């Protein structure tokens, strides 16, 4: 695979993702020539991770770069691309990369119409904006999307990813929405689930719930990734209807805001356990009926 030439990189903007990826590209030998930063936190982050890089408005950052890195929220990306195109910030020969998981390269059409090479590079990790993120890139995958019929573009995207220390995974344009939904469903909802568990334990007098949960949840995640549905355990997967009924009652009484999430996940667990042959049809039906209709005392 050909390595891209050393590039002048412009980072729009120096948030958690942009500052870290800019630093990773600099580590690979590219030159970060400009970045944009609006908030005080972004300015401090740029000073820490992109030392000496001048901070400029987004159009000046883009027009000064061979590689324009657009590290922006999903809903901000399209208006920013349109604005940069209207300002004449894109040109033939540039590489324009965005880092959003939800979008492919279609959102970069204005840049492509100006002659730039559009790429979508989505790092599959959470970012804190700290220097430690650079090390985490070494075990990270990046979803790469380029024009379906442009082998050179795919190669450039993969080469840039590998230069940053990550592993490229090719994703066709049409796959991006469901790809991103699956990642958000796993990572974002996992964080919500864990936070709810910590709060419920703390509410009931457990002093360091994180220490109690860490080995259990770490083992559950590892087993699920290794063994899939065979890792399912607990009262739903066993068909312990009485225990599930008790869970529903106590959640209704003490944590009604959590009960709907418990019910939805328990219903999905019962379906997966049934499909995997871990839960008999009668037990699955009884669990599902309870989740759909049953409340303690009704």
Q: What is the pLDDT of residues 55-95, one digit of tens each?
A: 999 999 999 999 999 999 999 999 999 999 999 999 999 99
Chain Cα centroid distance, residue 182? 9
CATH number of 8-171: 3.40.50.720
Q: What is the pLDDT of residues 150-171, one digit of tens each?
A: 999 999 999 999 999 999 999 9
Q: How confident is the model at residue 298 (pLDDT cuts 50, 70, 90)?
A: very low
Q: Rounded to an integer, what distance in angstroms lies between the CA atom of residue 101 and that of residue 184?
A: 9
Q: Which sequence spans correspond to the domains of the chain?
A: 8-171, 178-293
Backbone angles phi, psi at 53, to 5 degrees: -80, 125
| CA-wise closest residue to 141 among 170, 116, 119, 103 | 170
Q: What is the pLDDT of residue 296?
A: 41
Whose tokens are 């930063």? That residue is 37
Whether the model pTM is above 0.85: yes
Peptide bond into 129 cis (omega under 30): no
Q: How confident is the model at residue 3 (pLDDT cuts 50, 70, 90)?
A: low
Q: Rounded to an integer, what distance in angstroms lies between the CA atom of residue 220 and that of residue 216?
A: 6
């Amino acid at each position: 695979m050909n390595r891209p030439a050393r590039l002048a990189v412009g980072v729009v903007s120096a948030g958690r993702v942009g500052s870290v990826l800019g630093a990773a590209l600099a580590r690979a030998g590219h030159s970060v020539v400009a970045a944009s930063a609006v908030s005080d936190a972004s300015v401090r982050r740029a000073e820490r991770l992109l030392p000496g890089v001048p901070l400029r408005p987004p159009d000046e950052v883009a027009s000064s770069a061979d590689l324009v890195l657009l590290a922006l929220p999903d809903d901000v990306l399209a208006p920013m691309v349109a604005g940069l195109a209207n300002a004449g910030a894109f040109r033939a020969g540039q590489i324009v990369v965005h880092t959003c998981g939800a979008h492919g390269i279609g959102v970069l059409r204005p840049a492509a119409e100006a002659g730039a090479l559009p790429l979508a590079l989505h790092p599959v990790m959470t970012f804190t904006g700290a220097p430690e993120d650079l090390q985490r890139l070494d075990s990270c995958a990046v979803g790469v999307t380029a024009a379906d019929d442009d082998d050179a573009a795919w190669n450039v995207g993969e080469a840039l990813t590998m230069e940053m220390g990550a592993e490229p995974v090719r994703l066709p344009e049409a796959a991006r929405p469901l790809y991103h939904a699956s990642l958000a469903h796993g990572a974002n909802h996992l964080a919500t689930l864990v936070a709810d568990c910590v709060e419920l334990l703390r509410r009931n007098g457990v002093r360091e719930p994180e220490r109690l949960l860490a080995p259990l949840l770490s083992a559950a995640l590892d087993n699920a990734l290794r063994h899939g549905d065979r890792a399912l355990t607990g009262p739903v997967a066993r068909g312990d209807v009485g225990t599930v009924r008790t869970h529903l009652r106590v959640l209704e009484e003490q944590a009604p805001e959590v009960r709907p999430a418990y019910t939805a996940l328990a219903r999905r667990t019962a379906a997966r356990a049934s499909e995997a042959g871990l839960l008999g049809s009668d037990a699955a039906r009884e669990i599902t009926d309870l989740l759909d209709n049953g409340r303690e005392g009704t």
